[in-house]
C-alpha cells in the first residue's frame, strides 16, 4: 500500500507537469523552448554509442575488475562481534557489531581495525564459503587503529585454506590512481566498490585521541561495516586498511580514509609476535607549548631569546630519553595576557632536519619514520643559541 501511493503520486505529478507544459506552449509564452522540444517527427541525430575501441577498452576494464574481485574477495572476512550489558533488572542484553578484515597469513591471522573489536566479548568470522569460526584477539594497537585476530578451528575440523592478500607499496602512490575497496558495508558480504586516490598524507584522529598520519584518502564508497577491509590497487595488493569516513550523515559521502600499507607492515608483525606495538618516545610530548610569532615577540620583549616557531619545552619526564640527553624544561613562569608560560627551557625546532613546529608534527615524525632504539638528532634553541642533541628513543609508557 505504501508503494502504491508513491506510484500514484509520481503519475499525478507527471500529469500535472504535462498539462503545465501544454498550457505554457498553447499560450505562446515559451515558444522558443517549445520549438526546441523533440517531437515524434524530430530529425535530431540519435545518441551515438562509444567507438569500437572505447567499448573494447571498457569491456577490458570490466574483465580486469571481475578477475580482481574473484581473486581477492575470498580473502576478505566478515567479522561479527558481541558484547553484553545489563538492564535495570540485571538481565543480559546482547549487542552486536560488524566489520571487515582480511587474511594475513596461512596461520589464520586476520587484520582489521581496533575499533571493530574494541570491547568485544565474542568474535566470529565468516569466510567466503560460508564457514563461520570463532576468533580470538592476538594484538591491538589503538594509536594506529589496527588489530590482529586469529580464527579458532575445532579439533575435528580441517583448517580453512584461504590465500592471504599480498601487501602493496603505499610509499609510491599517486593521486588519481585507481583503487578498489572490498568489505561488508551494512552487513552486505564482500561488496566491491571502486574509485581513485583523492589525496595522500592526510592526518586523522586515532581511537586513543592521538593522530594517525600519512593516511590515504579515497572516493571509493566506504560505509559502516567496511572498517578493517582492504583498499586494493589494480594488482589486487593491499595498499591500505579502510578505517574511517568523513560524512555528516554517517554514510558514504565520497571521503574515506585508509591506514597505509607501510604502517600495517610495521605494526602487524609486532602485534602477532608480542600483542602490542612499541611506539617511539622522546619524553616531552604533552608538555610543550607551540610558539607563534606574536607570542615569541612578546617573550623577546621581556628579554627571553626564543625563535618565532618551535615547541617550548615546559617539562621533561624524569628518566626519559630527553632527560638522559640533557634537554631542559621551563625554569620559571611568565604571564602573557591570559597565558602562563614556563620559560627558560629549550625550544625544539626540528628533528633530523625535519621542522616540527607543532607537537602533532613531532609525534607524527617519530611515529612514521622511527622505531624504539633509533637515534634522532634534535635541533633546539637554548638561551638564544642553536644546538643539536642526539637522543635515543625509548618506548612510550
Instruction: Count structural domains, the chain.
Output: 3
Res 17 pLDDT > 90? no
Max mean pLDDT range (169-173, 308-312, 360-364): 169-173
Residue 391 sits in the same domain as residue 298: yes
pTM confidence score: 0.80
Does the pLDDT at position 203 exceed 80? yes
Average pLDDT over residues 327-335: 84
Average pLDDT over the chain, rounded to whole? 84
145 is a catalytic site residue = yes
Work out the average pLDDT over 6-10: 33
Q: Average pLDDT for residues 145-168, to the nearest whole number? A: 94
When comparing pLDDT for 220 and 52, which is higher? 220
Distance CA 115, CA 142 (A): 8
The residue-averaged pLDDT of 274-287 equals 87
Catalytic residue among 100, 109, 141, 145: 145
Say which CATH number the domain at 129 has. Answer: 2.40.10.120
pLDDT at 43: 56
- Yes or no: say if 166 and 156 are a contact pair by the CB < 8 Å rule: no
**Active-site residue flag, 370:** no
Average pLDDT over residues 244-266: 90
Residues 287 and 387 in one domain: yes
| Residue 199 falls inside a structural domain | yes
The pLDDT > 90 percentage for the chain reads: 58
The whole-number pLDDT of residue 199 equals 96
CATH of residue 301: 2.30.42.10
Alpha-carbon Rg of the chain, whole angstroms? 29
- Dihedral sign, CA of 338, 340, 345, 348? negative
Task: Spot the catalytic one: 78, 227, 233, 346.
Answer: 227
Do residues 138 and 237 share a domain? no
Last residue of a domain, one of 241, 274, 307: 274
Residues 300 and 349 in one domain: yes
Contact (CB, 8 A) for 185 and 222: yes
> 219, 248, 274: which is the final residue of a domain?
274
Domain that holds residue 326: 280-395
Whether residues 259 and 286 fall in one domain:
no
Instruction: Specify if 233 maps to a domain.
Output: yes
Q: Mean pLDDT across the stretch 147-166?
A: 94
Which of 78, 115, 279, 379 is catalytic? The answer is 115
Band (122; pLDDT cuts 50, 70, 90)? very high
Which run of H or E residues covers position 115?
helix 114-117
Locate 313 and state its grid cell: 619545552
Amino acid at each position: 500500500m505504501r508503494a502504491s501511493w508513491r506510484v500514484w503520486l509520481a503519475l499525478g505529478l507527471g500529469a500535472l507537469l504535462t498539462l503545465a507544459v501544454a498550457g505554457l506552449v498553447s499560450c505562446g509564452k515559451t515558444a522558443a523552448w517549445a520549438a526546441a522540444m523533440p517531437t515524434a517527427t524530430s530529425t535530431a541525430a540519435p545518441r551515438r554509442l562509444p567507438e569500437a575501441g572505447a567499448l573494447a577498452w571498457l569491456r577490458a576494464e570490466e574483465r580486469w575488475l571481475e578477475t580482481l574481485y574473484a581473486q581477492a574477495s575470498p580473502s576478505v572476512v566478515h567479522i561479527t562481534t558481541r558484547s553484553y550489558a545489563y538492564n535495570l533488572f540485571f538481565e543480559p542484553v546482547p549487542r552486536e557489531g560488524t566489520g571487515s578484515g582480511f587474511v594475513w597469513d596461512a596461520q589464520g591471522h586476520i587484520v582489521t581495525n581496533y575499533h571493530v573489536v574494541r570491547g568485544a566479548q565474542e568474535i566470529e568470522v565468516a569466510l567466503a564459503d560460508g564457514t563461520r569460526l570463532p576468533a580470538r584477539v592476538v594484538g591491538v594497537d589503538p594509536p594506529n587503529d589496527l588489530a590482529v585476530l586469529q580464527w579458532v578451528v575445532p579439533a575435528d575440523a580441517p583448517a580453512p585454506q584461504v590465500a592471504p592478500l599480498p601487501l602493496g607499496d603505499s610509499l609510491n602512490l599517486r593521486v588519481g590512481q585507481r583503487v578498489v575497496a572490498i568489505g561488508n558495508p551494512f552487513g552486505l558480504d564482500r561488496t566491491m566498490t571502486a574509485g581513485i586516490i583523492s589525496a595522500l598524507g592526510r592526518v586523522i584522529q586515532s581511537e586513543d585521541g592521538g593522530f594517525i598520519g600519512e593516511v590515504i584518502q579515497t572516493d571509493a564508497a566506504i560505509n559502516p561495516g567496511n572498517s578493517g577491509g582492504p583498499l586494493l590497487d589494480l594488482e589486487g595488493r593491499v595498499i591500505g586498511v579502510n578505517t574511517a569516513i568523513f560524512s555528516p550523515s554517517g554514510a558514504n559521502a565520497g571521503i574515506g580514509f585508509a591506514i597505509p600499507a607501510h604502517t600495517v607492515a610495521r605494526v602487524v608483525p609486532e602485534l602477532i609476535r608480542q600483542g602490542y606495538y612499541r611506539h617511539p618516545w622522546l619524553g616531552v610530548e604533552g608538555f610543550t607549548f607551540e610558539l607563534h610569532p606574536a607570542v615569541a615577540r612578546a617573550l623577546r620583549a621581556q628579554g627571553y631569546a626564543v625563535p618565532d616557531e618551535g615547541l617550548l619545552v615546559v617539562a621533561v619526564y624524569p628518566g626519559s630519553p630527553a632527560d638522559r640527553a640533557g634537554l631542559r624544561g621551563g625554569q620559571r613562569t611568565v604571564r602573557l595576557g591570559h597565558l602562563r608560560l614556563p620559560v627558560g627551557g629549550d625550544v625544539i625546532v626540528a628533528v633530523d632536519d625535519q621542522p616540527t613546529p607543532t607537537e602533532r608534527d613531532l609525534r607524527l615524525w617519530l611515529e612514521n619514520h622511527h622505531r624504539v632504539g633509533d637515534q634522532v638528532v634534535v635541533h633546539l634553541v637554548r638561551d638564544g643559541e642553536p644546538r643539536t642533541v642526539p637522543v635515543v628513543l625509548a618506548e612510550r609508557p
